Structures are given as structure tokens and as C-alpha cells.
Structure 1
Amino acid sequence: MTALSRSARWAALEAVWCEAATASTRHPLGSVAWQALGTCGARTDLPWTAEPGEIGPWDAESMRTLCRSCPVLTDCAAYVDASGVCAGWWAGTNRDPDYTEPERPGWVKAPGATGKHPAWQGVLPLGGAA
């Protein structure tokens, strides 16, 4: 696959916007061309549309972090509100009504860490008996 020049990318994006503008007159929810600019599109490794039980704490934290820095977060949130989305991960949260947020991962001092030589490690909360 060949890389497109900057002007070719802009021309392609302009074509998407023009097509979306035409489609918005036919679609009650309006244009969704903003989705092409979302940070989630490049991260197909994350479970954006997974069943609620299949989303672990690290995946949830990764998706939440990507959404926070997304340039189209407000467009995404407006789309979700207008369309009544009730499944998948949109605008920083899982929209499934049966979804229970997993315990968030955190950081603790690593074994053997001292005040002079601090070390931290990630902690993944585990379910089940304590």
C-alpha cells in the first residue's frame, strides 16, 4: 500500500465530508464523518464493541484514556445522546446498561523498594476470594 501525500489525504477527507453532508440531509442523526478523525479507529486491538463481561480493567482504562484525549470526544458524546446508543464503548464509557465497571488498575510500591530507590509496579485487581 502506498502512502498518500498530505494533499491527497486532505482531498480524501474532503470527499468524506461532502458525502457526509449529503447523507446528513437523508439521515435524521446527521453526519457521522467525525468518526474518521477519532483516535479509536486506529486501535482495533481494543474491545470497543465487546460484551460487557469481556472487557477487563486494563482494556477499560486504555479505552477511557484514548477517549479523554480524542479530538472528536464532544461529537461522539453528542451522537450518543442524539441516537440513544445502548451498546459498545462510546465517548469514554461503556453504553451497555448491564455493564459493571471493573475495578480500576493502580500502582503500588514494588517489593524491595526503598525511599532512596522507589520502584512502582502495576496492579491488576483480581476477582474472587480474598
Structure 2
Amino acid sequence: MNTNWMKDAACRRIPDLPWTADKGTAPVILGELMADVCRFCPVRDACAAFVADEKIAGGYWAGAHRTSKDTWVQDALPLDGAA
């Protein structure tokens, strides 16, 4: 899969956040901050597609922690709110 979109990811501007931490291992406030960064990321859709295709099950990607099978259900939903 092409990963050129990663160069435009908003998270690259804030590398000190615990992007690779498992859910519950970082303070809640940092999770909220990561969610805010993802919310306005210009490549969030590409990020969500990447983690779904690669079946990534760890870290914080596209606005959510990737730690359970429930994430794969979330990845199937459109990000723009249309269902």
C-alpha cells in the first residue's frame, strides 16, 4: 500500500505524543489531545484505510486507539458521518 500520505499527517508535527501507546497506558488528557490532532488531519481518511488494510492493532491512528476487533467495525464506517 502506498504510504506517501504519511508525510502530510498532522501527527508528524507533534511526535512527542504517545501515538504508539496501548489504550489506557497514557493519561486521558493526552488521548484527548491526539483525538483533536486527528480530527483536523488532512489525511485522516487515508490513515483509516491504511490501518484497516494493514489490520494494525496497536497505537493511535485516525482518531482511535487500535486495540480491539471493534476497531475493524469502526473502520468500515465512513468518516464524514454518512452511513
Structure 1 unaligned segments of length 5 or more: list them. 1-29, 98-130
Please report how far the alpha carbon of residue 34 of structure 1 lies from its aligned counterpart in structure 2 after TM superposition: 0.4
Read off the aligned partner of 1:92 and give its amino acid letter. Answer: G
* Corresponding residue of 1:94: 65
> TM-score w.r.t. structure 2 length?
0.77
Structure 2 unaligned segments of length 5 or more: list them. 69-83
Greater fraction of residues in strand = 1
Is 2:30 aligned against 1:59? yes
What is the CA–CA distance in structure 2 between the aligned matches of 1:65 and 1:53, rounded to whole Å?
A: 17
Please report how far the alpha carbon of residue 64 of structure 1 lies from its aligned counterpart in structure 2 after TM superposition: 0.3
Aligned residues, how many?
A: 69
Which deviations, in whole Å up to 9, do the C-alpha atoms of 1:25-83 show, x marking residues without a partner? xxxxx210100100001111210001333221110000000000000000000111111
What's the secondary structure of 2:16's corresponding residue? coil
What is the CA–CA distance in structure 1 between the aligned matches of 2:45 and 2:66, rounded to whole Å?
A: 16
* Greater relative contact order structure (CA < 8 Å, 6+ sep): 2
Is 2:20 aligned against 1:32? no
> TM-score w.r.t. structure 1 length?
0.50
RMSD: 1.5
- The structure having more radius of gyration, on CA atoms, is 1
